[in-house]
Amino acid sequence: MIEIIHPGIMSLVVDGGRFGYKEVGIPTSPALDIYALGILNHLLGNEGNAPAIEAFGGKFSLRFAKNVYCAITGAKVKASLEGRTLQSWMSFEARAGEVLTVDEVREGFRYYVGFSGTPVLDKIIGSYTTNLECRFGGYRGRAFKKGDSIDIEDIHQVDVKRIPDKFIPHMTPPHILRVVEGPEINYFTDESREEFLGGREGTAFTVSTQLNRTGIRLDGKPLAFRTDAEESIISEGLLPGSIQVPGDGLPIIQLHERTLGGYARPALIARVDHDLLAHLKPGDSVIFEMIEMEEAERLFDRKIETVTPIGN
């Protein structure tokens, strides 16, 4: 069993996501950094999409009531176990009664905490992940509060190991997000498209404070709609990572919580960079760089191949 002493700014249960029912609006709600979740579970000898805690902000703290192996991946944090300093991206053994504390987030935004065993949680519609808006899945369908506790079953032993640096992503801004063309790219002026999608030669946006697990709103120079284009579309199916632009011209990066949308989508984030979206935080600088679809496919396949040796 583990007991939450402090939930950080927010922490909740996530897994690989909920699939197969988007036709009735049920979103995926997965871990935003699926790569970090996969490596975490690899370190702990769990199935790759097994549930774990996704958290952000410092002060996150929990107490172990059983001996178990634990690890933290995702954002690079300064953490300690009973005063002994711990590193991110490595497994460690925790003994009953010991307290784990995340003191500070040094690079990135969201971090993942997992255990070598099966946490006892609510499995709803095939997944343990939390749908915060509709309050189901995970831990009673909500974020953690002080004093919550989770039982862990089937605790197994693992070898303590560390993920080599070359497998740990960089999460420092400016974030260069590669994108592919979206269905409504032609709704925007040529000039606006060049600036928006021009990579380092283009304009940078800033992550606003309007940011949650549903979407990330950006500040910067608004995109200009062509005079003959509508400012909205008839609502239709939306893919995760789509960049939606409402009438005010400021882009919103949609994450995984919405299945339909009615705003124009000039582009969407290439899958190779989806994990990075978990680490955008208010004030960070973001640059979009348009790539071809074939390039996006190749980059994603290469990312998967790269981690195959470490068992993701």
Partner 1 sequence: MNISRYGEEGIRILFGETIDLEIHEKVRRYYFFLKSLQLEEITDIIPSFRSCLILFDRKRTSYEALTVSLRDREFLIAHIDIPEPKTHDVPVEYGRENGFDIDFVASHTGLSEDKIIEIHTSVTYKVFAVGFMPGFPYLGILDQRLYVPRLETPRLKVPEGSVGLAQLQTGIYPFESPAGWRIIGRTNKKLFDYNKEPYSIFQIGDKVRFIRA
* Position among 10, 65, 124, 250 found at the interface with partner 1 (CB under 8 A): 124
Cis amide linkage into residue 174, ω under 30° from 0: yes
**Smaller CB distance to partner 1: residue 112 or 263?**
263
**Smaller CB distance to partner 1: residue 81 or 124?**
124
| Count, residues near partner 1 per rule CB under 8 A | 39
Q: Measuring CA to CA, which residue among 118, 66, 67, 69 is closest to residue 90?
A: 69
**Smaller CB distance to partner 1: residue 119 or 240?**
240
**Smaller CB distance to partner 1: residue 28 or 46?**
28
- Cα 306 from Cα 273, distance rounded (Å): 15
* Position among 9, 20, 149, 292 found at the interface with partner 1 (CB under 8 A): 20
**Smaller CB distance to partner 1: residue 26 or 150?**
26
Name the residue type at position 288.
F
Question: Does 309 sit near partner 1 (CB under 8 A)?
Answer: no
- Cα 53 from Cα 37, distance rounded (Å): 9
Return the C-alpha torsion angle 72, 18, 269, 257, nearest 10.
Answer: -100
109, 88 in Cβ contact below 8 A? no
Q: Nearest approach, Cβ of 141 to partner 1 (angstroms)?
A: 9
* Position among 46, 73, 259, 312 found at the interface with partner 1 (CB under 8 A): 259
Q: Measuring CA to CA, which residue among 36, 41, 49 is closest to residue 171?
A: 36
- Cα 118 from Cα 253, distance rounded (Å): 33
* Position among 48, 183, 198, 202 found at the interface with partner 1 (CB under 8 A): 183
Question: Does 293 sit near partner 1 (CB under 8 A)?
Answer: yes
Q: What are phi and psi of 308, to 5 degrees?
A: -55, -40
* Position among 297, 303, 307, 310 found at the interface with partner 1 (CB under 8 A): 297
Residue matched to tokens 């195959």? 308
Question: Does 22 sit near partner 1 (CB under 8 A)?
Answer: yes
Among the listed ranges 67-75, 104-112, 217-225, 238-246, the one in contact with partner 1 (CB under 8 A) is 238-246
Cβ neighbours of residue 98 under 8 Å, at least 6 residues apart?
63, 64, 81, 82
* Position among 9, 120, 125, 160 found at the interface with partner 1 (CB under 8 A): 125
Question: Does 238 sit near partner 1 (CB under 8 A)?
Answer: yes
The Cα angle at residue 130 between residues 125 and 134, in degrees rounded to 5: 80
Question: Does 242 sit near partner 1 (CB under 8 A)?
Answer: yes
Question: Does 116 sit near partner 1 (CB under 8 A)?
Answer: no
Residues binding partner 1 (CB under 8 A):
19-27, 124-125, 131, 133-137, 180, 182-183, 234-239, 241-242, 258-261, 268, 270-271, 293, 296-297, 300
